[in-house]
Amino acid sequence: MPYKIVGGIITVLVAVFLVLFVHWNSLSNRLGKTEKELTAERAINVTLGHIIDAYQENNSANRVAITRQLESERVIRNESEEKIRQFGAEVIGDPCAVQRMPDPIINLLQE
């Protein structure tokens, strides 16, 4: 009789170890799968990080270009306003300046 109890205990222990081994193997497989997924996610995140860095550099370059363009437009506008002011000062009292220029001359100047 005691051999039957020992045999039963051994059978139960073997069954428990078998269940634990199967469970451990399942966890190990899930862990490996999760690690592969995390590696893929990490690669995607690195790629997205590079894209964001490139976007930020491009954005900075665009801001510099816009600032230069606005400054250039401001200089041109100021020069134009100054030339108009000088022209206005020069033509005061000149009767020829207030007359319309003939159309053939305007066409010639536009060519």
Is residue 7 in a domain? yes
**Residue 94 domain flag:** no
Look at residue 101 and tell me if it is in a domain.
Answer: no
- Flag whether 57 is in a domain: yes
| Domain count within the chain | 1
Computed from CA positions of residues 29, 32, 37, 38, in that sequence, does the dihedral angle turn out positive or negative?
positive
Q: Give percent of the chain above pLDDT 90.
A: 63
Containing domain of residue 34, as a range? 1-87
Task: With respect to residue 46, please indicate whether it lies within any of the assigned structural domains.
Answer: yes
Q: What is the pLDDT of residues 30-56, one digit of tens each?
A: 999 999 999 999 999 999 999 999 999
Q: Is residue 95 part of a domain?
A: no
Alpha helices by DSSP H, listed for the chain, are: 2-90, 103-110
Q: Write down the pTM of the prediction.
A: 0.52
Residue 77 within any structural domain of the chain? yes
Decide if 50 is inside a domain. yes
User: What does each of the 111 residues of the chain score in pLDDT, given as a tens digit?
Assistant: 677 888 888 899 999 999 999 999 999 999 999 999 999 999 999 999 999 999 999 999 999 999 999 999 999 999 999 998 998 888 887 777 777 888 888 888 887
